[in-house]
Amino acid sequence: MDSGKKTGLRPRPNVGLGGMPADAAISKPAATLSSRPSVMQAPVLVLNATFEPINVTAVRRALVLMLKGVAQAEETNHSEVHSTSKAIQVPSVIRLLSYRHIPQQSRALSRKNILLRDRNTCQFCGILFPASELTLDHVLPRSRGGRSSWENLVASCYTCNNRKGDRTPEEAGLKLQRRPRPFTLHTSRQLMRLIGHRDEKWRKYLFY
């Protein structure tokens, strides 16, 4: 993808479990919750009602699900968030109270999911970046018929994106870290296990 050009992908609403927008305002009882942004964005493992791991979400979203009675905390960490009337322990693992059918198919094609698949790592230089410092690159440029697809879009830092320009990686002297593939349930499980290495509370739900 040329630097400064649009990817052709429209931003998708971050729809969470139950069809509720993940970025929707927290309901009134939680409106006054306050904590460091890093705590509210920390990863939380989501289990189905059967204790099967199905997703990773942020603390903020996990608290929304808990306050709405959709999920309950199975594991917590040592942090707390505070409302005007009480303190709530920050969840590390939550479980849905009703079973949700998870289709065995790829996730929707979006910038967020491509960055998640590529683990916020530039696929040319191999360096980890914050999401705000990454863009999407068409491996085969759109000017040559390259499509906006899982197999042709990768995360790229702006330096590598500018260096590549309207060329293929080979023409620009760049090499892909790995071949881009669709984000499947198998990919999700791999990422859950990768994050699980950092939080021992996750391990008994992931390694079985």
What tens digit of pLDDT does each residue of 100-139 get?
987 665 577 889 888 888 988 999 999 999 889 999 999 9
Provide CB contacts within 8 A for 173, sequence distance 6+. Answer: none
Give alpha helix (H) positions in 48-184.
59-67, 111-117, 158-164
Indicate if 4 and 48 belong to the same structural domain: no
pLDDT at 200 over 50: yes
Indicate if 41 and 69 belong to the same structural domain: yes
Indicate if 125 and 139 belong to the same structural domain: yes
Indicate if 178 and 111 belong to the same structural domain: yes
Indicate if 132 and 163 belong to the same structural domain: yes
pLDDT at 98 over 90: yes
Provide CB contacts within 8 A for 92, sequence distance 6+. Answer: 44, 45, 73, 75, 76, 77, 199, 201, 202
The whole-model pTM stands at 0.53
Indicate if 149 and 176 belong to the same structural domain: yes
Q: Are 41 and 58 in contact (CB under 8 A)?
A: yes
Q: Over the chain, what is the mean pLDDT? A: 80
Indicate if 131 and 150 belong to the same structural domain: yes
* Residue 205: per-residue pLDDT: 86
Mean pLDDT score, 45-59: 89
Q: What is the pLDDT of residues 12-26, one digit of tens each?
A: 444 444 444 444 333
What CATH code is carried by the domain that includes residue 137? Answer: 1.10.30
Indicate if 163 and 189 belong to the same structural domain: no
How many separate domains does the chain show?
Answer: 2
Indicate if 190 and 99 belong to the same structural domain: yes
